Amino acid sequence: MKEKLKIRVVNSDGKEYVLWTLSGKRLWDSLVDNGLDIGGICAGNNVCGKCKVRVEGETNPISDAEREHLLPDEIREGFRLACYCNVHSPLTVYIDNVGQDLNHKDIYSVFRPLGIPLIEVKQIFIPGIDKENPVSIHHRLRKALAAYSLELSIDNLAFLFRLDRAGRPAMELNALVYPGNRIKFIGPKQSRVFGIAVDIGTTTIFASLLDLQKRKAAAVISKSNLQKTYGADIISRLSYCMGNDDGMKTLHQVLINSINICIEELIDEISITEQDIFAFSVAGNPVMLHFFLGLSPAGFAAAPYVGVFNDEIICPARQLGLKSAQEAECYILPQIGGFVGADTIAALLSIPENDDHTYLLVDIGTNGEVVLSKKGQMWAASAAAGPAFEGGGITCGMRAGEGAIDRVYLDQDGQLQFNILGHNSPRGICGSAVIDLVSCLLEKGLIDTNGIIRTSDLNQYIGENGSQRDEIVLMPGKETGNGLKISINQEDIRQIQLAKAAIRSAIDILLDEAGIEYQELDYIYLAGSFGNYINPVSALKIGMLPPVPTALIKNAGNAAGQGVTEVLLSHPAWERAKILRDRVKHIELADRTGFQELFLSRLNF
């Protein structure tokens, strides 16, 4: 039997974890199996070079293939790629990967749900036992609630029986009325009734804990989707699922675990239990929703990209493994078609209804979606932007967390200036800053409209040619929090070009489908946790959006998060989601004549 070895993991904020692994096991597997996010995006397949950690202890020697991903300074300081590193002795591993966990319930405090709630908390009175004519608690409930369908669990009936006693004139109770006039739970007046709205992103999971009695948010959180260690984008996760016998089961369980982590933190924050969670509303792209339900996503691996379902689904929450009350149900929003999913429906719910307006909704992420609404008619397309806009696939890219550069701008003297999140030295650059940076480099003439770095014009910026490609160094290692320089190179710029061309091509095709010009747009809404932080001027400068006046570009915030929250608080929103599904026409970009030529033409800035 192999020896078990201790690994001490030290996070960049000094927090320590202890885990155990088998001698000879890959460090990547040892860390990921214990739920630690180490930043890799290729499922440990020795491709991305992003799972860098500093290691103290005996491991296997560095191979030539691993050296290609590491700088000489990194090797001297003990950095390794976890996917190449095997554990041969007790180790201390330093992880320089800080994510940002959000908890901003105030974002949703302005929401005022309209109409009746999806799950109604109804006050009821049940007659006590009549000594002259005693009747069971169940019969009295059925008689008092004749207009409803009772679907009470045996445990719930047993609880109500314990409340019932002779001589009590009446019981004042709360009944949970689900869609279809179904009562699934009856409890005392002081019962706490909560639900959770979930938006499952390819990179990030958003969850909002909702007080269903007060009809408002009690807490909000955003966490990494731990599936990303099996691939940064949808296609790579599909590949993992199809190429491994237990791939479907693994990705389903990892996703459920990610959501349960959110649930645990939310309920701990306001001191309730999972037994107080009675409903979920769920949105996400089609592949994520198939993983969520444990259904095969094989239909999305090839044309015509049709999954097992695209209508709304209601199912028991516990059946999926979610931490909740026994009675809890999941309300999964409908999808539009192809890779345009329920998250787009949720985002549309957050946009004010006005059939007189013509607008674009652009949800920018790993799997971007674009919707064009023209006086009530709607078209939608999916744009495979990849992870570049979220810091993935960028040499010094990182999530928007402590030490991330999140804004880049030019001062009055034309010099690059940076805004850094938190109070520590910079560690990397997140997606919103990458767009700012490319915009600034274009303005300074350090890159041309083809995206080529003009090395002769670098001036004080240090350009390195040769094996590391041309690059522009923004900060030398002595000024950063991890001792490594922060730079952008030719390949990074290429990744941004590919991502922005995907978004812009989708916009152009939808405008053509509707027969309008961009000058006819009343608004462009930028959605998504990333889209909310984009500087519209920078997005226009790099050509990601059509050249409209900046005043027409509105940040819609986490539109999908707001929409899926609205569904759980408002029955009309649930019904409107179905109407939107039928109204929006899905456009498959790859089927359009001239798409490749259009995409190539949009690569330039």
Which residues make Cβ contacts (< 8 Å) with residue 265, sequence separation at least 6?
Answer: 101, 221, 223
Beta strands 329-332 and 313-316, pairing class = antiparallel
Closest CA to 494 of 477, 474, 470: 470
Give the pLDDT band (50/70/90) at residue 110.
very low
Q: What is the mean pLDDT of residues 371-388?
A: 90
User: In this structure, what token pair is assigned to residue 464?
Assistant: 């390195």
Contact 177, 152 (CB under 8 A): no
261 versus 49: which is more confidently predicted?
261
Highest-scoring range by mean pLDDT, 226-240, 406-420, 503-517, 586-600: 503-517
Dihedral of alpha carbons 474, 480, 485, 488, sign: negative
Domain locations along the chain: 4-95, 120-188, 388-495
Q: How far apart are the first and last CA of the chain?
A: 59
Task: Look at residue 426 and tell me whether its pLDDT is greater than 80.
Answer: yes
* Cα 569 to the center of its chain, rounded Å: 21
E-strand stretches of 151-215: 170-178, 182-188, 194-200, 204-211
Beta strands 368-374 and 523-527, pairing class = unpaired
Rounded to whole angstroms, the Cα distance separating 34 from 8 reads: 12
Rounded to whole angstroms, the Cα distance separating 167 from 131 reads: 8
Looking at the DSSP bridge assignments, the partners of residue 178 are 182
Q: What is the pLDDT of residue 529?
A: 63
Looking at the DSSP bridge assignments, the partners of residue 340 are 337
Q: Tens digits of per-residue pLDDT, 111-149?
A: 455 688 999 999 999 888 888 788 999 999 999 999 999
Lowest mean pLDDT of 331-340, 388-397, 571-580, name the range.
388-397
Beta strands 523-527 and 404-410, pairing class = unpaired
Q: What single DSSP character describes residue 539? A: H
User: In this structure, what token pair is assigned to residue 138?
Assistant: 């169940």
What rounded mean pLDDT belongs to the chain?
A: 88
DSSP per-residue letters across 345-365: HHHHHTSPP-TT-EEEEEE-S
Rounded to whole angstroms, the Cα distance separating 208 from 346 reads: 14
* CATH class in words for 120-188: alpha beta
Q: Tens digits of per-residue pLDDT, 493-545?
A: 999 999 999 999 999 999 999 999 999 999 999 987 677 678 899 999 999 99
Q: What single DSSP character describes residue 166? A: T
* Cα 328 to the center of its chain, rounded Å: 23
DSSP per-residue letters across 250-277: HHHHHHHHHHHHHHHHHHHHTT--GGGE
Q: What is the pLDDT of residue 346?
A: 97
Percent of the chain, pLDDT > 70?
Answer: 92
CA distances from 144 to 23, 153, 554 (A): 65, 18, 51
DSSP per-residue letters across 125-144: EEE---SSS---HHHHHHHH
Contact 497, 510 (CB under 8 A): no
User: In which order are the strands placed within the sheet that holds 204-211?
Assistant: 216-224, 204-211, 194-200, 277-284, 329-332, 313-316
Rounded to whole angstroms, the Cα distance separating 21 from 17 reads: 13
Highest-scoring range by mean pLDDT, 18-32, 180-194, 307-321: 307-321
Q: If you compute the radius of gyration of the chain from its CA atoms, what whole number of angstroms results?
A: 27
Grouping H, G, I as helix, E, B as strand and the rest as coil, residue 147 is: coil
Grouping H, G, I as helix, E, B as strand and the rest as coil, residue 603 is: coil
Residue owning tokens 């007189």: 356
Q: Tens digits of per-residue pLDDT, 466-490?
A: 434 478 889 988 999 888 899 999 9
DSSP per-residue letters across 8-45: EEEETTS-EEEEEEETT-BHHHHHHTTT------STTS
Give the pLDDT band (50/70/90) at residue 1.
very low
Grouping H, G, I as helix, E, B as strand and the rest as coil, residue 448 is: coil
What CATH number was assigned to the domain covering residues 4-95? 3.10.20.30
Beta strands 358-363 and 377-383, pairing class = unpaired
Q: Tens digits of per-residue pLDDT, 242-295?
A: 999 999 999 999 999 999 999 999 999 999 999 999 999 999 999 999 999 999
Contact 357, 348 (CB under 8 A): no
Beta strands 377-383 and 368-374, pairing class = antiparallel
Contact 3, 61 (CB under 8 A): no
462 versus 275: which is more confidently predicted?
275
Looking at the DSSP bridge assignments, the partners of residue 61 are none
Q: What phi and psi, each to the nearest 5 degrees, are found at residue 175?
A: -115, 140
Q: Does this chain's domain 4-95 share its CATH topology with 120-188? A: yes
